[in-house]
Amino acid sequence: MVEDEDSIRALAVHPGFVALMNRLKLQRAVLQTTLDTKKHSDIRVVDDLQNGLKWLDYLQNEVNKAVSKKAEAKAVAVRPTEQQEFDKVFRLIEGV
Q: Give CA–CA dist 86/46, Å, rounded.
A: 67
Its sign, for the CA torsion 76, 81, 83, 85, is negative
Enter the DSSP assignment of 69. P
Q: Give CA–CA dist 55/12, Å, rounded.
A: 20
Q: What pLDDT digit, counting tens, does each position of 27-43 carry? A: 999 999 999 999 999 99
Q: Give CA–CA dist 48/94, Å, rounded.
A: 71
Give me the residue spans of the domains in the chain.
2-95
**pLDDT, averaged across the chain:** 84
Task: Evaluate if pTM is beyond 0.85.
Answer: no
Q: What pLDDT digit, counting tens, does each position of 41-73 carry? A: 999 999 999 999 999 999 999 888 888 765 554
